[in-house]
Structure 1
Amino acid sequence: MRSLIDLTKTTQTLLTHYQSSLSPSQATQASLEISSPQPNPLETIKATTTLLKSHTTTLSLLLLTPPLTPSAVISKIGDVSSGVLSAMVAAASSTAQQGQKDELGESMRTELRAQVRRVLSGWGEVLALVLRFAERREEEGKKKDDGPTEAAKQDVLAATGVVWEACDALLRTCADGIVGLVVKKAEEYRSVLLDAVEELKEWGEDVESEEDEDEGLGSDGEDEDDIFGAANKLGKGNTELKVLLDSSVKKLKMVGILYQALIKRRLKTFPKMSTPTNNTNGETSDEPTDPMRVLDKLMVILKDIPETVDDLASAFYDLDDNQAKTTLDKTCKKAKSAAGLVRQSWKGQDDEFTTWSEKWSGMLEGA
């Protein structure tokens, strides 16, 4: 029992190291420490995640079924920590080395690291229960083991469920692959963008009347929130800001349409096995373009646009038309940059999206 306690504590320390190696600040350094070439990371993670679910199920049964057998639990923890988790973390930490084709890309790599961290967190809860059970049995000595209490059983089932849920999410990500992930992310970004547009539109419709302006300093019956709320309303006479707001809403809706087109024509058609092609942004270049690198750049822009729109909304709420103009221009430039980045197909050829994106860019300018 003492050996089980010591092993569990050592494994907890190892788990902390694994989680740290997958944090955004440490992931790059950890990947540099991997000396041997890694097999397909998604396949490795899929295999190890499936094994972890199985091992966790067995371990939970060992904890629930008296008497608690230290040797069996020790063996199972060893299988997980030294075999399953080490391979899983190595695969999630891996990056494409110089001269090696990038099979994942930054979007998938970041997602895998985050999800593996959740799996590790869930496994940590299981280890905490193992330690609690072992310490209780050590304190009881030779007293007959009647098994865990009902509350303890529920704790085991709950911890096992957390691991299973994290594993299932990780397996879905592996099954969906890069295309499934980037499409999902882009749809989420578009949803955030359109929510912001709708809020701006509603704010613009809540025009402050002249009576509101006269009462803006507040009467005895007004509270503090009413006063500050009135200060951030669009004034009825502020026609210049209203025109800018209407133009912004139109342009941002067109950006939302761009997301739809990019999802359909570019993200869903991303090649499973990426190979360098001709330059996809319309510029002449002697060097081929790696679709994975282009995809990474595109996803950064698609994520950044809704964040810039938040800044645009803040400028409007502050009634700062100059800042609103500047931020709107920045948003439109980013959107046109996204369209231009994948102007041509992943094979470096003009297609329907090429023609459509040129028309869309012209309409955005005129909106």
Structure 2
Amino acid sequence: MAKPNDLRALIELSKTTQTLLPHYQSSLAPSAANATSSEPQAFSTDLPNPLDVVKACTTLLKSHTTTLSLLLITPPLTPSALITKIGDVSSGVLSGMVAAAASTPRSGQRDELGSLMRGELRAQVRRVIGTWGEVLSLVLRFAERRQSLQGNGSAKGKTKDEGPTESEKQDVLAATGMVWEACDALLKLCGDGVAGLVVKKAEEWRSVLLDALEELKEWGEDVEDSDDEAKGSDAEDGGFGDEDDIFGAANKIGKGDKELKALLDTSVNKLKKMGMLYQALSKRRLKTFPGTSPGATAPTAANGETGGGHPDPMTKLDGLMVSLRAIPESVDDLASAFYDLDEEEARQTLDRCCGEAKSAIALVKQSWAGKDDEFTAWSSKWVDALDAA
């Protein structure tokens, strides 16, 4: 039988820990990250890579959560064992995980993560904390129910713990499964590393780009088809066609608008080449991004350069990913300009999109080591082809 003092201690610890979790999450929120990014933290250069710390903590969290779930569904409820596990998680595992994810490189220290990975890592750690909070809520619910049963049962001479109901067991298993799912995603992120994440993001952005490209192509083809059909149907319907044709006519290119149609064709050709660029960058640059040893220090990292006067690889990678993200966003604006039949806006947006693509390729024209290679020669040909399209 659980001792009343142990139950009270478990309830108090669960409530105290619940108030701690939002503080952990807020320290990893984007607003908090932006506010502290300009103030480098002073931590020792011999600390391990944050991904290694998060990976170790996440593995422990899965183990502790499994033990917690077993303690909850197996009668009798043992407050002392639950207290120990909650303490292990809150003061050890979660605090270590949050500290690693929230860390930023100090001046003169090489950035192990980069902006993209740091943001993704913090987001996934916040998710893990949120799912573990659900398990903690179940601990509190079980402890308070047991305390209530103990008080009512003492008056009737019944204090036996018959354990959780089937529904409660399913709640525990579901909450545990959510923690495991979040932990597995975080472990994969850590295992794939920076290179794995940037390749995945580039593929996602390329898909967005290609989707927009297909929509533009279909829109252009629909213009031609609808013009041909309109000639044969006007006499039959007295000038009143299909409702979609009538109310959609305002954003269709007329056959006489040759300049806008030519610009659309040019845009489609240029966007096709940008799709090829994502593939080449993924294979020749993103997948070959060099790993950095924990605690490594760049001689002149404060100004974003390595000792040889070349930009630090992580600085170049951050800039590259900004451009690769911006391209599909610009393509969305380009499509909107075409749908509005705004030729000038479409032309300016296409120029901006091409500029982002050229900036991206210029950043990594040379290898991460600052040397010419096959991609260097290919990139020059690609820029010429883009300009000629």
TM-score by length of 2: 0.86
Alpha-carbon offset, residue 240 of structure 1: 1.6
Written as runs of structure 1 = structure 2, the 5 A alignment for 1:252-263 is 252-263=271-282
Alpha-carbon offset, residue 76 of structure 1: 0.6
Which whole-Å CA distance do the structure 2 matches of 1:88 and 1:131 have between them? 23
Written as runs of structure 1 = structure 2, the 5 A alignment for 1:88-237 is 88-141=97-150, 142=153, 143-207=159-223, 208-209=226-227, 212=230, 227-237=246-256
Which whole-Å CA distance do the structure 1 matches of 2:254 and 2:143 have between them? 69
Closer, same or farther: CA 78–219 of 1 in aligned 2, 3 Å: farther
Deviations 1:222-262 (A, max 9, x none): 65x65432322232332221111111000001011111111
Which whole-Å CA distance do the structure 2 matches of 1:9 and 1:303 have between them? 42
Is residue 206–residue 234 contact of structure 1 (8 Å, CA) maintained in 2? no
Deviations 1:49-71 (A, max 9, x none): 00000000000001101111111
Alpha-carbon offset, residue 2 of structure 1: 2.0
Closer, same or farther: CA 227–73 of 1 in aligned 2, 3 Å: farther
Closer, same or farther: CA 221–198 of 1 in aligned 2, 3 Å: closer
User: Are residue 265 (structure 1) and residue 284 (structure 2) matched?
Assistant: yes
Closer, same or farther: CA 181–9 of 1 in aligned 2, 3 Å: same
Alpha-carbon offset, residue 130 of structure 1: 1.1
Closer, same or farther: CA 136–180 of 1 in aligned 2, 3 Å: same
With 245-254 and 29-38 compared, the bigger mean Cα shift is at: 29-38
Task: Specify the alignment match of 2:325 in structure 1.
Answer: 303
Which whole-Å CA distance do the structure 2 matches of 1:134 and 1:219 have between them? 75
What secondary structure sits across from 1:273 in the alignment? coil
Instruction: Tell me the amino acid that sits aligned with residue 153 of structure 1.
Output: K
What secondary structure sits across from 2:145 in the alignment? helix
Count of aligned pairs between the two proteins:
359
Is residue 232–residue 319 contact of structure 1 (8 Å, CA) maintained in 2? yes
What secondary structure sits across from 1:22 in the alignment? coil
Task: Specify the alignment match of 1:26 in structure 2.
Answer: 32
Instruction: Tell me the amino acid that sits aligned with residue 264 of structure 2.
Output: L
Which whole-Å CA distance do the structure 2 matches of 1:348 and 1:36 have between them? 30
Which whole-Å CA distance do the structure 1 matches of 2:324 and 2:298 have between them? 22
Instruction: Tell me the amino acid that sits aligned with residue 129 of structure 1.
Output: L
Which whole-Å CA distance do the structure 2 matches of 1:34 and 1:132 have between them? 39
Task: Specify the alignment match of 1:282 in structure 2.
Answer: none
User: Are residue 350 (structure 1) and residue 350 (structure 2) matched?
Assistant: no
Deviations 1:325-347 (A, max 9, x none): 00000000110110111111111
Closer, same or farther: CA 219–155 of 1 in aligned 2, 3 Å: farther
With 30-39 and 75-84 compared, the bigger mean Cα shift is at: 30-39
Which whole-Å CA distance do the structure 1 matches of 2:249 and 2:133 have between them? 51
Is residue 195–residue 286 contact of structure 2 (8 Å, CA) maintained in 1? yes
Task: Specify the alignment match of 1:281 in structure 2.
Answer: none
Alpha-carbon offset, residue 28 of structure 1: 4.4
Closer, same or farther: CA 340–276 of 1 in aligned 2, 3 Å: farther
Is residue 276–residue 291 contact of structure 1 (8 Å, CA) maintained in 2? no
Task: Specify the alignment match of 2:18 in structure 1.
Answer: 12
Which whole-Å CA distance do the structure 2 matches of 1:264 and 1:221 have between them? 50
- Whose RCO is larger (CA < 8 A, sep 6+)? 2
Closer, same or farther: CA 20–67 of 1 in aligned 2, 3 Å: same
User: Are residue 3 (structure 1) and residue 47 (structure 2) matched?
Assistant: no
Q: CA RMSD in A?
A: 2.5
Rg comparison, structure with higher value: 2
User: Are residue 334 (structure 1) and residue 356 (structure 2) matched?
Assistant: yes
User: Are residue 312 (structure 1) and residue 334 (structure 2) matched?
Assistant: yes
Alpha-carbon offset, residue 105 of structure 1: 1.0
Written as runs of structure 1 = structure 2, the 5 A alignment for 1:47-58 is 47-58=56-67
Closer, same or farther: CA 337–326 of 1 in aligned 2, 3 Å: same
Closer, same or farther: CA 247–29 of 1 in aligned 2, 3 Å: closer
Closer, same or farther: CA 290–276 of 1 in aligned 2, 3 Å: farther
